[in-house]
Structure 1
Amino acid sequence: MGKSFKNRTALITGGSRGIGKGIARRFAEDGAKVAVIDVNEEALNEIESEFKEEGFDIFCKTANVVDFKQVENAAREVHEQFGSLDILVNNAGVIRDNMLFKMTDSDWDTVMDVHLKGSFNAARACQKFMVDQKYGRIINISSTSALGNRGQANYATAKAGLQGFTKTLAIELGKFNITANAVAPGFIETDMTKETAARIGISFDDLIKASVEKIPVGRSGKPEDIANAVAFYADERSSFVNGQVIYVAGGPKD
């Protein structure tokens, strides 16, 4: 167990399961105090109990990233409890996949709200603490779908938007010793990709097999693969890496 993030506090949105939980675990194992906000109260209770049993410092709060006041209150509570707010990972996300001609207003708005408005709200709430302390790391979770993906006009647009958001934050906040970067996962085994399998009418095992056939390294991704990239961006030694997008997909992406 390393101590790369000792005396640092990391806030992960949507961090109770999947990629978010993998990121939270990586930070905790590397010595950080970890805060997780999510709308899934049951999953929050599970990660809180699990992490505390392992001796990790964790703060959990039910909050909807679409509501700025909820996010602002959570960020303030995290800062009050741990004394700093050093790292923000905008991970909260949903999918409402459908072909364009079937996609509803709700399908579009929900995905835009959670991914884009949610990341805007969290960054806006956390940056004031980072500016005051002259230190911060903001990592946004994008996706290879940002390059376009059938049945995901909403999700692809939101994830591409996050990359533009990332680069703008890097420009605006860099002078305060705050960096902003993005990780764009490829196929990762999570509940979200299980939903994709259900949507297209195949088993999850079949989806994994079909995906692996297209991945140069010959395996599917795991949440810890994304956590490794996030940890690189969050490290104090990565202070000259700013406004970048790294595709963690087992191979190159155009």
Structure 2
Amino acid sequence: MLGVINVGQGNGVAGRLKKLTNLSRLGVTGLTIEEGQELCKSIGKLSRLQRLEVRSDSLQFLKEMDKSAIPRHLLSLRLCGNLDTLPEWISSLNNLVKVKLLGTGLKQEDIVHLQNLRNLALLGLWESSYTEESLHFYTGTFPKLKFLDIDGLEKIEAVTIQEGAMPELEQLWVNKCKSLHDSEDGLSGVQYLLNLNELLLKKCGEKENLIEILQAQVNKHIRRPKFLIGKSILPTSPKLSTSMTTEQ
């Protein structure tokens, strides 16, 4: 991997990347609109590219990528910067295993472009990546997702998981989401995640009611997943003490 390259200095680096045909990993930052457009053209020439990270104040240029340049072979994609809406071509990246988003400013309808990716195993929705107050995961979506990391979504009040959504999910982390409702609406549907091994609720403010509700769901869960609050684990059996024990 070349590391993270600052290509926004007007020196044509983004356009010359297409010559590195054996490149498998690439990270770029500091893009102007012109450099972003050149990057999109170069990506189409990198037939071995598997991991791509793009950081810029604005990522709007990604929406203009030509169909012939779409990197359908990507395994990992990390986008850091404002998009407002997710490029539709992302829904065609069926080899994607990991997607991490930061500062993208997306809405519920953008999740549609990710929910049917048949190999997606990890989804990170990080600070300012999602701007609406509710986030829904619908029946039949995210068929192979194993790890969902929701971190720093300050506006989020409710996360709803329908029965049949994310059937393979093993880890669900919710971190620094202080606007979550302190009720069953804050995080609902955990009982439908039949393969869940770990549930984390961290730095979400005082959520005594939500914690009690989630603990009850975890206690009844067939797999008895770990329920972590910060670095502590809530017992997953009603026979155990209700006090928290420190994770070793």
TM over 0.5: no
**TM-score, structure 1 length as denominator?**
0.31
Q: Which has the higher strand share?
A: 2
Rg larger in structure: 2
- Tell me the TM-score normalised to structure 2 length: 0.31
The structure with higher relative contact order (CA 8 Å, sep 6+) is 1
